[in-house]
Amino acid sequence: MQHTMTAIGDGVIRVDFAGEVSPQMNQQIQRYCRLIQGKAIYGVTELVPGYHTITLYYEPFEVRYNELITKLEKLLASSIGENIQEKGRLLQIPVCYGGEQGPDLHKVAERHQMKEEEVVRLHQEPTYLVYLLGFLPGFPYLGGLSPELATPRLQEPRANTPAGSVGIADAQTGIYPFTSPGGWNIIGNTPIPLFDAEKKEHAFLFRPGDRVTFYEISEAEYNQLTLKDMQSDLLWEEVISIEKENRSEL
């Protein structure tokens, strides 16, 4: 997959991949990120995956951009064919749709002239991909929403969207890690915490490149899960499974 590397500011290099945004492109981005992170390159402070980019931050007083780009290009070229694929993670997220938990389900259904049950069914159908995290700490941007459910953002954003809210904005779906103002159409809520600040780098349920499915739970099941007051690790263990096969290498 073709890419270009440009310094867009002092301390910022942008790796831009050519072509359509796709799960394959995302896989390539995750692969490059792992490769670069695995080498602990002098001067590089962090990487931020985007839909068709990697934004790489570096310390300009430790390394010059042109030296760094040469080094990175060499590293990427030498790694072609090298198998550094990690086993993919699949996360199965329980969601209580509609009612108090999903105040906008009704509106989304009305807009698309379908029954609420149909929206719920369509939302559970795909296996989504976490393209990136952004907007709020731990907020996953999920690609793969059925085009039939694409819905513009709320005209008036809510002052408070509760933690766990599952929403739709345009062609994307996502989950609010904590209560925050927001303009997404909220169709349900998950009792699984997305965020545990105590755990430092393992503080977030989602990682870029994860695959995600949703399954419906009843209000009673929802309440039971919230009442369980379980440690986030135990709940997380229940939703995360490691895929048996490595996904094909590009």
Partner 1 sequence: MEQELFQVMKPGVQTTFQDLGRKGYQQFGVPVSGAMDKFALQVANILLGNSRTSPCLEITLIGPNLVAKSSMTIVITGANLNPTCNGEPIDMWKTVRIEKGDELAFGKHESGVRAYLAVAGGFEAPKYFGSSSVDGNSGFGKPLEKGDTIKGYPITVASGISLASSLIPSYEKKITVSLVEGPHTDYFAKKDRETFFAVPYKVGSNSNRMGYRLEGETIKPEKVEVWSDGIPFGGIQITSGGEPIILMADRQTTGGYPRIGTVFSTDLPRVAQLIPGGEICFRPSSIEEAEEKVRKEEQFLHRLEQFRQHIERRK
Where on the chain is the footprint of partner 1 (CB under 8 A)?
Answer: 6-12, 14, 16, 21, 33, 45-55, 57, 60-61, 64-65, 132-139, 141, 178, 180, 197, 200-201, 203-204, 207-208
- Residue 208 CB, shortest distance to partner 1, in Å, is 6
Which residue, 53 or 79, has its beta carbon nearer to partner 1? 53
- Residue 66 CB, shortest distance to partner 1, in Å, is 9
Residues 6+ apart with CB under 8 A from 36: 44, 47, 54, 56, 72, 75
Amino acid at 195: F
Q: How many residues does the chain have?
A: 250
Pick the closest to residue 124 from 212, 193, 208, 183 (CA basis): 212
Which residue, 122 or 150, has its beta carbon nearer to partner 1? 150
Q: At what angle do helices 65-78 and 23-39 cross, to 10 degrees?
A: 110
Neighbours of 31 (CB within 10 A): 21
In whole angstroms, give the CA distance from residue 4 to residue 15.
Answer: 6
Burial grade of 232 (CB within 10 A; 0-12, 13-18, 19 or more): middle
Which residue, 52 or 211, has its beta carbon nearer to partner 1? 52
- Residue 62 CB, shortest distance to partner 1, in Å, is 9
Which residue, 84 or 117, has its beta carbon nearer to partner 1? 84
- Residue 36 CB, shortest distance to partner 1, in Å, is 12
- Token pair 């890690």: residue: 177
- Residue 79 CB, shortest distance to partner 1, in Å, is 20
Which residue, 48 or 239, has its beta carbon nearer to partner 1? 48
Please, are residues 208 and 182 in contact by the beta-carbon 8 Å criterion? Answer: no
Which residue, 14 or 106, has its beta carbon nearer to partner 1? 14
SS3 label, residue 249? coil
